[in-house]
Amino acid sequence: MSDPRDGGTTPLILAVESSCDETAAAVLRGPREVLSDVVASQVALHAEYGGVVPELACRAHAEAIVPVVEKALADAGVGLGELDAVAVTQGPGLVGALLVGLSFAKAVAWSRGLPLVPVNHLEAHLAAAFLEEAVPTPFVGLVVSGGHTALYLCTRRGEYRLLGQTLDDAAGEAFDKVAKLLGLGYPGGVVIDRLAREGDPSRFAFPRPMLRSGNLDFSFSGLKTSLRTHSESYLKGLEPQELADTCAAFQEAVVDTLVTKTLQALAHTGAACVVACGGVACNSRLREGLRTMAAAAGCHLVIPRPRYCTDNAVMVASAGSHRFLAGVRAGSDLNAVPTWPLEGLGG
Ligand code: KG4
Ligand code: ZN
């Protein structure tokens, strides 16, 4: 239980995440004391299909959920009776996958008479930044993952305005599709990041879509097509150095687009702080590009450590902890929400 001496501001939260292909559970005390962080990844399961297969994800979540939560509690040295609340990802995500975590969290909360706190997965990605520090608001939030690419203005925690989003592929999806096209396996972001370090980003020129569109939306499908045309022009396949240069040039086009649009969002909103999060925020070149941009613009930048950028339950606990203190509670009729925009979240 939270210590009444500190005014109840350090709740002990168990969080569960199962929106896509990671089954995760974590225990967090207060805003950033991580007591445990368990992630069971299904990457190997989906690799041979080149993407997440919803039915397989659902079954794997059902198999993993009990041991993952048990390990999170054991690692934290915490019993269910000591918790203040259970937080769970309600959406957006794959409906069958979400339902596994949701049903389990509901059962735990109901059996122990604990409050159940619903969490939006996108807010959880942004909340990962609060694990690093008390982020000042307003801030511009760049969410870049396998399923989402969007810019938000966060006026205060829980209040978000969508500034722009991808009109087609998410940035992570573009990394994954391009990696598949180049025969680099799945998921492709990490591999492209690694190969790009040996490459020359200026050797090939790929388009920077919608950079001067006058709005803050993104589009990555044209870039993917241009990469296909480029790689097909090498009839005998790409030599190792050509492959590395291709990866570097593709990555540079994505990073340039993300960094430029983030800078435009800062100018548009007048905010002086940026949060970058989601799996693609692990990308070394994006982290470097955002750091350079923030230093030049004189703005504060927070990028969670890579472990908290990819899907995990600590970020769900971070968002859940804040929503718990704001009084947000779910009833036993809580259902999965596969499409759930961040705007108008409340709480
Ligand atoms: O946030 P996340 O774990 O799951 C979703 O909510 O989608 O993001 C996964 C995405 C994948 O598309 C993966 O290729 C990408 O993040 N990713 C990266 C890197 N690490 C993960 N993309 C570029 N560079 C990386 N280092
Ligand atoms: Zn995610």
List the one residue out of 66, 60, 44, 55 whose CA is nearest residue 96.
55
Q: Quick check: 38 and 71 in contact, CB under 8 A?
A: yes
CATH number of 67's domain: 3.30.420.40
CA 1 to mean position of chain CA atoms? 29
pLDDT of residue 68: 98
202 and 318 assigned to the same domain: no
Distance of CA 232 from the midpoint of ligand 2 (Å): 32
The parent domain of residue 17 ranges over 4-127+310-325
pLDDT digits (tens, 9 = 90+) for 73-123: 999 999 999 999 999 999 999 999 999 999 999 999 999 999 999 999 999
Q: Taking 70 as the threshold, does the pLDDT of residue 47 lie above it? A: yes
Domain assignment of residue 70, yes or no = yes
What secondary structure does DSSP assign to 188-252, as a single string?
-HHHHHHHHTTS-TTSS----TTTTSSSS-B--HHHHHHHHHHHHT-TT---HHHHHHHHHHHHH
C-alpha 23/C-alpha 250 separation (Å) is 31
Strands 273-277 and 139-144, bridge-based pairing: parallel
Examine the domain organization and report whether 67 and 23 are in the same domain: yes
In 3-state terms the chain splits into helix, strand, coil percentages (rounded to 5) of: 45, 20, 35
In a domain, 331, yes or no: no
Q: Which residue ranges have their beta carbon within 6 Å of ligand 1?
A: 20, 145-147, 172, 175-176, 187-190, 193, 278-280, 282-283, 310-311
Q: Which atom of ligand 1 is nearest to the CA of 310?
A: 3
CB of 157 closer than 8 Å to CB of 128: no
Residue range 197-251, pLDDT digits in tens:
999 999 999 999 898 888 999 999 999 999 999 998 887 789 999 999 999 999 9
Indicate if the pLDDT at residue 55 is higher than 50: yes
Considering its fold, how many domains does the chain have in total? Answer: 2
Ligand 1, from 195, 247, 310: best to mutate by most atoms within 8 Å of Cβ? 310
- Asked whether residue 222 is assigned to any structural domain, the reply reads yes
Establish if 31 belongs to a structural domain: yes
Closest CA relative to residue 39, chosen from 52, 26, 48:
26
Using alpha carbons only, what angle is made at residue 220 by residues 176 and 155, rounded to the nearest 5 degrees? Answer: 100
Nearest protein CA to atom 23 of ligand 1, as residue: 189
- Asked if residues 316 and 26 have their Cβ atoms less than 8 Å apart, the reply is yes
Q: Say yes or no: 69 and 199 in one domain.
A: no
Can you tell me the mean pLDDT for 64-79?
Answer: 98
Would 343 be classed as within a structural domain?
Answer: no
Q: How far apart are CA 83 and CA 315, in angstroms?
A: 17
Check residue 334 and report its DSSP letter.
-
What is the rounded distance in angstroms from the CA atom of residue 250 to the CA atom of residue 337? 34
Q: What is the pLDDT of residues 265-291, one digit of tens each?
A: 999 999 999 999 999 999 999 999 999
- Mutating to test ligand 1, I would choose from 280, 282, 303, 316 the residue with most ligand atoms within 8 A of its C-beta, which is 280
Residues 241 and 260 in one domain: yes
Domain assignment present for 346: no
**In this structure, are 145 and 283 located in the same domain?**
yes
Greatest alpha-carbon pair distance for the chain in Å reads 70
Is 333 a domain residue? Answer: no
Confidence (pLDDT) at 4: 45
Q: Which ligand is nearest to the CA of 147?
A: 1
Work out which ligand 1 atom sits closest to the CA atom of 173.
Answer: 12
Question: Rounded to a whole number, what is the distance in angstroms from the first to the last CA of the chain?
Answer: 22
- Asked whether residue 231 falls in the same domain as residue 297, the answer is yes
Residues 243, 265, single domain; the answer is yes
Contacts (Cβ under 8 Å, ≥6 apart) of 58: 94, 96, 97, 99, 100
Say whether both 85 and 173 belong to one domain. no
Q: How far apart are CA 9 and CA 133, in angstroms?
A: 16
- Give the number of other CB atoms < 10 A from CB of residue 242: 16
Whether 66 and 160 share a structural domain: no
Ordered strands of the 159-165 beta sheet: 159-165, 149-156, 139-144, 273-277, 300-302
List the single range of 43-47, 118-122, 133-137, 303-307 with lowest mean pLDDT.
43-47
Same domain, 148 and 113: no
202 burial level (CB within 10 Å; 0-12, 13-18, 19+): exposed
Nearest CA to ligand 1 atom 8: 279
Task: Among the bound ligands, name the one nearest to the CA of residue 281.
Answer: 1
Which atom in ligand 1 lies closest to the alpha carbon of residue 93? 6
Mean pLDDT over 133-152 rounds to 97
Measured by CA distance, the residue closest to atom 26 of ligand 1 is 283
The pLDDT, as a whole number, for residue 1 is: 57
DSSP 328: -
Residue nearest to atom 19 of ligand 1 (CA): 189
- Is residue 21 within 8 Å of residue 279, measured between CB atoms? no
Whose CA is closest to 2, among 74, 113, 75, 78?
Answer: 78
Q: 143 alpha carbon to ligand 2 midpoint, in Å?
A: 9
Report the nearest-CA residue for atom 21 of ligand 1: 279
**Ligand closest to CA 277:** 1
Q: Do 290 and 216 reside in the same domain of the chain? A: yes
| Amino acid at site 310 | T
Q: Do both 155 and 208 map to the same domain?
A: yes
Residue 347 binned pLDDT confidence (cut-offs 50, 70, 90)? low
Residue 105 in any domain: the answer is yes
Q: How many angstroms separate the alpha carbon of residue 241 from the centre of ligand 2? A: 32
More confident residue, 299 or 346: 299
